[in-house]
Amino acid sequence: MEFLIEGLLSVTWQQVVMYCVGGMLIYLAIEKNYEPSLLLGMGFGAILVNLPMSGVLNQITAGVGETSGIIQWLFEAGIEASEAFPLLLFIGIGAMIDFGPLLSNPKLFLFGAAAQGGIFLTIIVAALLGFDIRDAASIGVIGAADGPTSILVSQVLKSNYVGAIAVAAYSYMALVPIIQPFAIRLVTTKKDRAIKMPYKPGTVSRRTRILFPILVTIVSGLVAPSSVALVGFLMFGNLIRECGCLESLSQTAQHELANLITLLLGITISYSMQADKFVTPETLLIMGLGLAAFVLDTMCGCLFAKLLNLFCKNKVNPMVGAAGISAFPMSARVVEKMGLEADRTNHLLMHAVGANVSGQIASVVAGGVILGFFM
């Protein structure tokens, strides 16, 4: 009882705040089903690392010396030293993605590129607000709606706000069905959202599907060498899927590997959610800037589609541009749902999926470009 009272008295108000943050993430994971495979680990980990003298962190004990904590060890080995966890997760993500809708309509590549505009606008705003340029670059990547890329970029750039950036990135990924409709309505009319785009599926040969990940890796490596690890692991996962002779490995990458790495990544990233680093005014500002980046990315995609319509005979529904962010496949589903709300016969899913997988490539390339500029 004495030890319990002593432990309670040593808890700071900042740690209490982190218990509430952890509880909120657990609630969102279980009750709302928002990215549960990741938010559950992050939420529980946030509680673990903020217990007084927590055994999951390295510490020096009198008469014993330094003892190793499991979460700190995982963070140092899997994220800080090698960025292994985010990169390995890209193999699983690549194995899940079918680039067929994109390859059958290559102009959708443009929307993936356009929808990254919010990243660079947010970097400028964050720098003007006083953030160090590396921190500003890391904050901007939240707009890509790509959690692993956000974690990797912020860690490589040695940002002081890795935990806040990770929480913002994955929280906003989970909130795509809430945030994106709001952002889309800001720059589109009901008439825009009702534009029909008949889907005429093109034939994509097996050879094209196999060559695509190889060529994307080569081109990305030449244009942005710092993106090679990001793009390469994503494309390697897709090559496993498309080669046709590694079906069991493809399934393993999509399920066992992706699930295991996501589980470890969630609880490991909580190391950077220690109260003294997380409970700061900057954290709230980062959450706000991350939301702004996400909204701006969505708006940039829509506005680019509207600009394209000035020169195209066959009009593009501006919402397809919004699907150019990396939140696959949630963003494509949002576009399909909003298209049906505007016109019950308006099916945009396959176009949106093409733009969405384009955004997956564009977000990792954007991350590589940022690393190339600010490393």
* pLDDT at 16 (0 to 100): 92
Residue with tokens 């903020």: 50
Assigned domain for 145 exists = yes
Tell me what the mean pLDDT of segment 85-89 comes to.
89
Band of residue 201 on the pLDDT scale cut at 50, 70, 90: low
* pLDDT at 8 (0 to 100): 53
Band of residue 37 on the pLDDT scale cut at 50, 70, 90: confident
Band of residue 9 on the pLDDT scale cut at 50, 70, 90: low
Could you tell me the two tokens for 317?
């529904």
What number of H helices and E strands is found in the chain? 22, 2
Assigned domain for 61 exists = no
Question: 193 pLDDT exceeds 70?
Answer: yes
* Total tally of structural domains belonging to the chain: 1
Assigned domain for 62 exists = no
Assigned domain for 255 exists = yes
Assigned domain for 29 exists = yes
Tell me what the mean pLDDT of segment 204-213 comes to.
92
Residue with tokens 């016109």: 343
**pLDDT tens track for 244-281:** 898 999 999 999 999 999 889 889 988 888 988 888 88
Assigned domain for 370 exists = yes
Rounded Cα–Cα distance for residues 301 and 314 (Å)? 18
Assigned domain for 315 exists = yes
pTM over 0.75: yes
Assigned domain for 63 exists = no
Tell me what the mean pLDDT of segment 119-130 comes to.
92
Q: Which domain holds residue 47?
A: 2-56+68-374
Question: 183 pLDDT exceeds 90?
Answer: yes
Tell me what the mean pLDDT of segment 142-171 comes to.
85
* H or E element that contains 60: strand 59-61
Residue 114, C-beta contacts closer than 8 angstroms, at least 6 positions apart: 300, 301, 304, 305, 321, 324
